[in-house]
Structure 1
Amino acid sequence: MPGTPAAPRRAHSDGVAAASFVLGLVGLLVFSVVLGPAALALGSMALFQGTARRGRAVLGLALGVADLVVLAVVTAADHAYVWSL
């Protein structure tokens, strides 16, 4: 956007990268069907916006993929979408 300072935009994308990481991490434990894709979307958005926290955004992407893999494995093993403890 013309006339927009770079610092606030970068700070926003840094927050998005951190949110991606947190959602991916929490998604490994609960509600991975929503938090996994959200982590993927936010991580991709942070990388596209040029975040300074590139590693955190990539970890958010990796954890989002791990969320979906765990969901697929649990679903295939239990034939259900619910974890039973």
Structure 2
Amino acid sequence: MHLTAPARTGRTGTRPRIRDADGMAVASFILGLLGLLVLNLFLGPIAIALAVAALWRGTARRGRACLGLTLGVADLVVLVASMEATGTVSWSL
């Protein structure tokens, strides 16, 4: 008796990938925005990586991914500016 894998019904091969890319675009935006306030050293690069991955996968939320990319870069710019101004690696509001 052969055991076979259950047939995939109702799902296409491309839709889950786009949905994942849309989720990455939203996550990059949220992490980039949050990174302006706290943990910009960690959240900035994560936002950049998620935005690039979402754009590469062809997200339907291209504007959100671009905004997440911009905010991720802004996180790192704010970090460098605050390091230059205070002479330390950490800063607070």
Give TM-score, length-normalised by structure 2.
0.85
**Residue in structure 2 matched with residue 69 of structure 1 by the alignment:** 77
Aligned mates of 2:61, 2:32 — CA distance in 1: 15
**2:16 is aligned with 1:8:** yes
* Code of the aligned partner of 2:88: A
Query: Does structure 1 residue 48 correspond to structure 2 residue 56?
Result: yes
CA distance in 2, matches of 1:47, 1:75: 31
Cα RMSD after superposing both structures: 1.0
Larger radius of gyration: 2
Task: Please give the alpha-carbon distance, in whole angstroms, between the structure 2 residues aligned to 1:67 and 1:41.
Answer: 13
Report the identity percentage: 59
Aligned length: 82
Q: Report which of the two has the higher share of helix.
A: 1
SS class of match (2:84):
helix
Task: Write out per-residue CA displacement over residues 43-82 of structure 1, whole angstroms, 9 at most, x where no aligned residue.
Answer: 0000000000000000000000100000000000000011
Q: Deviations over 1:21-54 (max 9, x none)?
A: 0000000000000000000000000000000000
- The alignment partner of 1:29 has SS state of coil
Taking structure 1 as the reference length, what is the TM-score of the superposition? 0.92
Matched with 2:37 is 29
Structure 1 segments of 4+ aligned residues over 3 angstroms from their partners: none
Which runs of no fewer than 5 residues in structure 2 stay unpaired? 1-11
